[in-house]
Amino acid sequence: MRRALDAQGSPIRRESFMAKSKRVGYAVIGLGHISQRAILPGFRHAKRSSLAALVSGDAKKAKLLAAQFGASHTYTYDALDACLRDPEVEAVYIATPNSSHVEFAVRAAEAGRHVLCEKPLAITHGECQQIIDACRKNHVKLMVAYRKYFEPAALALKKLVDSGRLGRLRIIHSAFTVTLPSGDSWHLKKALAGGGSLCDVGIYCINLVRWLTGMEPTEATAHAWTNDPVRFREVEDNISFQLKFPGGLFLQASSSFTAAKASFVQIHGEKGWAALDPAYAYNEERRFFGKVGGKWFERNFKIVDEFSLELDHLAACIRADRDPLPDGNAGLRDAMIMEAIYEATKQGRAVAIRTHEKFNSQPA
Amino acid sequence: MRRALDAQGSPIRRESFMAKSKRVGYAVIGLGHISQRAILPGFRHAKRSSLAALVSGDAKKAKLLAAQFGASHTYTYDALDACLRDPEVEAVYIATPNSSHVEFAVRAAEAGRHVLCEKPLAITHGECQQIIDACRKNHVKLMVAYRKYFEPAALALKKLVDSGRLGRLRIIHSAFTVTLPSGDSWHLKKALAGGGSLCDVGIYCINLVRWLTGMEPTEATAHAWTNDPVRFREVEDNISFQLKFPGGLFLQASSSFTAAKASFVQIHGEKGWAALDPAYAYNEERRFFGKVGGKWFERNFKIVDEFSLELDHLAACIRADRDPLPDGNAGLRDAMIMEAIYEATKQGRAVAIRTHEKFNSQPA
């Protein structure tokens, strides 16, 4: 039955073969570190999502992982079209090197498959726009895999910010540092990654603060550096950047590819402050603490499977025909901001970021 | 006996009237918030220091506080020379508005009195140098009141940094924010304060990182802003600044006069990370936490009287004829760095800081 459909060579409308209540079947495209360590295990805890297929250049690896994680089918990249016609595949999770996101996202959209894409959505804002346009045109959902939107500790922080109990926000500090394993990596190649630690982990600081505050930065300054100019000759190792937000809020953030894994965000408001530390890495307990109204608080959050939560969010949106959040625009905005940050490292002074005025209001 | 000596009108050599084992008698000059809340109470827990005299423009306030804290004598500023000839006064603690530090420090030094001066040491590096020169010439000790050098949590952090267990340091974030009480304040006047929140609280971030790392920054960038340009028309309210250190270390720091009291420092090294949060305000418990060698640690430190510790440090140095640390050079360096930071807010790009090469080495 499936083979017969495959042979048609055209997009299959999911409604024709799948009950609305059924789990959404995903094809995971790209079987690198993040897939093996986080995305594939995420299906085990998912309630609305199932692993339908794996796509990899390495057929043997794909079969091994399919057996381990219970995927029905495996495909090589040559057979991607077949995968995208597979009636069990309603959505794709794109976890390939950043430069290939645009190709896979557009092809999936054109095949009528919903798209969940690892961050960054793409390596230029133009490519992000192409993905957004393709998904709109083909009436499929587009979500960027920002885990924080679904994580209880981050949601608790957002609830506190939204409550206004911190007062007007003044200063935010945030960092996400990791140690890139020794040896070669696509993360070191500009053509594949688009940039260095900013694209891989620093982006969390940008996205989190935009999400927490609902505001868009207007200006960027930045400094990038390394102690290993041979290894980091194409992309930045360490980067510290500053984003100016409306209403007198300023973000100082950093990322690194050569520091121990660590991450935090600390928010200073007129009336209180709050922090998550650790904040960003997966499979970590979170500590949420601060002082509001002169009173100290601290809550610890156990590890949750943030990947199953994001898989299920898109699945729920598909079934309910709602737009997911984070959407493609979140990825597009972050790409534009990263472009301004990189430009600022070159110019050595503030670079304007294109803004949408409607996003930028802080209560007086 | 004391009166007869006063009438000589010349510096009295402490050795002539005071046994080496006796507590060092301090005159506290300036009886504002920091004196009333922290310095005067500090004498209660001091073991080597005693409160000999109070100096204030408000004679009534001085007498009330003298009764409360057990000072033998009070003086108005008109009678400062008499105070500095008082044989019970071996040292002064200068806690007046920043612009007057240079005058009081130089007069104390010329009267043969040791000097413990609130931070910033003075409002220009030139004035800092004048103080240093006067203290050298008159063979008196000079110490700047940086409390962190004596505080157990900060010492634990320094011990960890010194141990090398964090590896090479990459990125440090730090902030100290306070809410300046409403109404008028010398902190709002450039002529008295020298600057805004940077001079009052942001300076902690600079000094702590210099002390922790033993390195001097070479370049500053900065951005200052406010939502209240009427109140903050002379000095900065919020400021975020970045300092580039040798060896690939970068500091991002902030201070504010209009955010809830909060402070932290987080250090990202190659092999581990560590944080103090809260870090800087007095009469606060400290939390020291992080991850080293993949292992989480957390230590809480009870409140200690950091002021009695600094009073006693100078007292011990006086008795042992040792140089105190933090010394005048710490104050001078911080003043030079703050000048570069202010210049950077104007230029909107990196400003070089004069460095002493000998301080700047990070293990390879």
Check whether B21 has a pLDDT greater than 80.
no
Q: Residue B199 contacts by C-beta under 8 Å, 6 or more apart in sequence?
A: B98, B120, B123, B193, B235, B338
CB A190 within 8 A of CB A227: no
Closest residue to B175, CB basis, from A171, A238, A350: A171
In chain B, the residue whose alpha carbon lies closest to the alpha carbon of A292 is B260
CA distances from A110 to A13, A140, A182 (A): 11, 9, 38
Q: Residue B78 contacts by C-beta under 8 Å, 6 or more apart in sequence?
A: none
CB B171 within 8 A of CB B311: no
Contact B250 A238 (CB under 8 A): yes
DSSP class of B118: P
Q: How far is residue B195 CA from its own chain's centroid?
A: 15
Distance of alpha carbon B44 from alpha carbon B308, whole angstroms = 8
The distance between the two most distant Cα atoms of chain A, rounded to a whole number of Å, is: 67
Closest residue to A270, CB basis, from B168, B253, B258: B258
Instruction: Provide, rounded to the nearest whole percent, the portion of chain A with pLDDT above 90.
Output: 91
Q: Note the pLDDT tens digit of each residue in A295-339.
A: 999 999 999 999 999 999 999 999 999 999 999 999 999 999 999
Distance of alpha carbon B116 from alpha carbon A70, whole angstroms = 71
Residue to substitute from A166, A273, A341, A345, interface B, most B β-carbons within 10 A: A273
Is there a shared CATH topology between the B2-147 domain and the B148-304+328-359 domain? Answer: no
In chain A, the residue whose alpha carbon lies closest to the alpha carbon of B287 is A289
The one catalytic residue among A75, A204, A280, A342: A204
Q: Can you identify the CATH homologous superfamily of domain A2-147?
A: NAD(P)-binding Rossmann-like Domain (3.40.50.720)
Interface list for B 78-117 with A (CB within 8 A): none
Contact B248 A270 (CB under 8 A): no
Given the structure tokens 């309210």, which residue do they identify?
Answer: B237
Q: Looking at domain B148-304+328-359, which of 3.40.30.10, 3.30.365.10, 3.30.360.10, 3.40.50.10420 is its CATH number?
A: 3.30.360.10
Round the average pLDDT of chain B to a whole number and report it. Answer: 93
Distance of alpha carbon A132 from alpha carbon A154, whole angstroms = 26
Beta-strand pair A24-29/A91-94: parallel
Check whether A5 has a pLDDT greater than 60.
no
CA atoms within 13 A on the CB side of A225: 18
Residue closest to A135 by CA, chosen among A310, A311, A332: A332
Beta-strand pair B286-292/B272-276: antiparallel
Given the structure tokens 């399919």, which residue do they identify?
Answer: A66
pLDDT for res B354: 78
Phi-psi region of A328 (alpha: psi -120 to 50; beta: other; left: phi over 0): alpha
Cα dihedral: B237, B151, B119, B71 (round 10): 120
Residues on chain A touching B277 (C-beta within 8 angstroms): 266, 275, 277, 289
Q: Is B26 a catalytic residue?
A: no
In chain A, the residue whose alpha carbon lies closest to the alpha carbon of B289 is A277
Q: Note the pLDDT tens digit of each residue in A179-190.
A: 999 999 999 999
Confidence of residue A7 (pLDDT cuts 50, 70, 90): very low
Q: Is A291 a catalytic residue?
A: no
Which token pair is B320? 């042992």
Q: Note the pLDDT tens digit of each residue in A258-284.
A: 999 999 999 999 999 999 999 999 999
Contact B171 A254 (CB under 8 A): yes
Cα dihedral: B195, B199, B205, B207 (round 10): 130
The one catalytic residue among B26, B93, B119, B141: B119
pLDDT for res A363: 44
Interface list for B 206-235 with A (CB within 8 A): 221, 223, 225-227
pLDDT for res A354: 78
CB A68 within 8 A of CB A35: no
Q: Domain locations in chain A? A: 2-147, 149-304+328-359
Round the average pLDDT of chain A to a whole number and report it. Answer: 93
Contact A175 B173 (CB under 8 A): yes
Indicate the pTM of the whole model.
0.92
Complex prediction ipTM: 0.92
Distance of alpha carbon A61 from alpha carbon A42, whole angstroms = 18
Q: Note the pLDDT tens digit of each residue in B42-91.
A: 999 999 999 999 999 999 999 999 999 999 999 999 999 999 999 999 99
pLDDT for res A31: 98
Closest residue to B268, CB basis, from A166, A256, A348: A256
Q: Note the pLDDT tens digit of each residue in A59-113.
A: 999 999 999 999 999 999 999 999 999 999 999 999 999 999 999 999 999 999 9
CATH topology of domain A149-304+328-359: Dihydrodipicolinate Reductase; domain 2 (3.30.360)
CA atoms within 13 A on the CB side of B271: 10
